[in-house]
Amino acid sequence: MMTPDLGEPPAAPPAALRLRIDRKALAANWRALDAMSAGTVHTGAAVKADGYGLGAAQVVPTLEAAGCRDWFVAHWGEVAALLPLVPAASIAVLHGPMNTADVAYARATGVRPVLNSRQQIALWLEAGGGPCDVMVDTGINRLGLELADLGDAMIARLDIDCCHSHLACADEDSPRNAMQLQRFALARQQLTARRYSLANSAGIALGAAFHADLTRPGLALYGGLARPEMAGKIAQVARPEAAVIQVRTLSAGDAVGYNGTFTAAGAMRIGVVALGYADGYLRCWSGQGAFHWRGRRLPVLGRISMDMTAVDLSAVPDVCEGDWLALDYDLASAAKISGLAPYELLTLLGQRFARE
Ligand SMILES: *Cc1c(COP(=O)(O)O)cnc(C)c1O
């Protein structure tokens, strides 16, 4: 009888799904954004949602080597992945503390909470305080203190590293941008911090008035053109690829996938690749998406399944099982075809990708 092996399970074999991260493009994007703000302005990085889906462990060391020194995540649970990579004091948690457990974690790790409300400030001070950031709402009406709260005596007791606000419409030419800038100037008069920060990716392209001391780009680092001014300066970083796990030959009339939404007009070769909606390749790509192999475009056939997608291999008779196909995922055109925002296209990319 076989005795069960109670030791460590062996390492999993390589996945048939990979996300190639172009580290040079990532570093170049950070430098391009940094060059868009002059003088002493520092360029940080929003690395929430696992580095916008690319993998914080992959992107943080590359950005750090490029010169980035300030990191922003949304949740406390996103801090642990960063702690081995960068100093705790360089990480800020945008959602701030909801309870004493969050506050205790911030104080134990040395990570800065971004305090968004009078309740959060009270929680922080009750626990003894320490270096923190503050978010002021200047018109997005999401997180942040109201301008009217800024006279509160509790605020004078804070040790504020950075005072933030966040733009609602930086990707548009909206009068709200100037209005938020004006309100941010009022906030700056009332609140003493070592640094001030307003701009996300798109805000950087709005010009020097929006740069303050520190910028917080996310999308543009990862290849998204947050504003048209960035065309030619920002390069694609994420390149998904999937392996062909089966090749089959169809006859005229054969239908492919759930509900048979594609029917072969004649004999044709198709491949099934290991990529599906559970990986973030949503059903909106059914009959719309495409892969590439050695310069040939290979259209997606029929419905996207949870774990699989069928691809037309008619143009590439030499593609076999095990070959890797590159997904068409240029963010600008993929956004147009899918109706998804570039933010969604990136953060959807699931945990089953090997990130390389
Ligand atoms: C996500 C986020 C950013 C980054 O925004 P992008 O549009 O991706 O550049 C900056 N600041 C705050 C507060 C955020 O939540």
Cα(278) to ligand 1 centroid in Å equals 25
- For the Cβ of 166 lying below 6 angstroms from any atom of ligand 1, the answer is yes
Burial 121-159 (b: 16+ CB within 10 A, else e): bebbbeeebbbbbbbbbbbeeebbbebebbeeeebeebe
Q: List all residues 6 or more positions away from 141 whose beta carbon is below 8 Å from its beta carbon.
A: 168
Output the pTM of the full model: 0.96
Structure tokens at 150: 């800024």
Helix (H) or strand (E) holding 336: helix 331-338
- Per-residue pLDDT, 256: 98
> Tens-digit pLDDT profile for the chain (356 aa)?
566 667 888 999 999 999 999 999 999 999 999 999 988 999 999 999 999 999 999 999 999 999 999 999 999 999 999 999 999 999 999 999 999 999 999 999 999 999 999 999 999 999 999 999 999 999 999 999 999 999 999 999 999 999 999 999 999 999 999 999 999 999 999 999 999 999 999 999 999 999 999 999 999 999 999 999 999 999 999 999 999 999 999 999 999 999 999 999 999 999 999 999 999 999 999 999 999 999 999 999 999 999 999 999 999 999 999 999 999 999 999 999 999 999 999 999 999 999 98
Q: Which CATH number fits domain 238-329: 2.40.37.10, 3.40.50.1820, 3.40.225.10, 1.10.150.80?
A: 2.40.37.10
Beta bridge partners of 239: 20
Rounded CA separation 110/97 (Å): 13
Structure tokens at 325: 């196909």
- 250 close to 270: Cβ distance less than 8 angstroms: yes
Q: Structural domain boundaries of the chain?
A: 22-226, 238-329
- Per-residue pLDDT, 239: 98
The position carrying tokens 């399970």 is 9
Taking alpha carbons only, the member of 240, 245, 202, 263 closest to residue 353 is 240
- Per-residue pLDDT, 38: 85
Cα(45) to ligand 1 centroid in Å equals 9
Taking alpha carbons only, the member of 240, 247, 304 closest to residue 272 is 247
Q: How many residues does the chain have?
A: 356
48 counts as catalytic: yes
Rounded CA separation 52/50 (Å): 6
Pocket test for ligand 1, best of 59, 200, 345, 346 (most atoms within 8 A of CB): 200
- For the Cβ of 215 lying below 6 angstroms from any atom of ligand 1, the answer is no
Q: Which atom number of ligand 1 is nearest to the Cα of residue 74?
A: 15
CATH architecture designation of domain 22-226: Alpha-Beta Barrel (3.20)
Cα(199) to ligand 1 centroid in Å equals 8
- For the Cβ of 158 lying below 6 angstroms from any atom of ligand 1, the answer is no
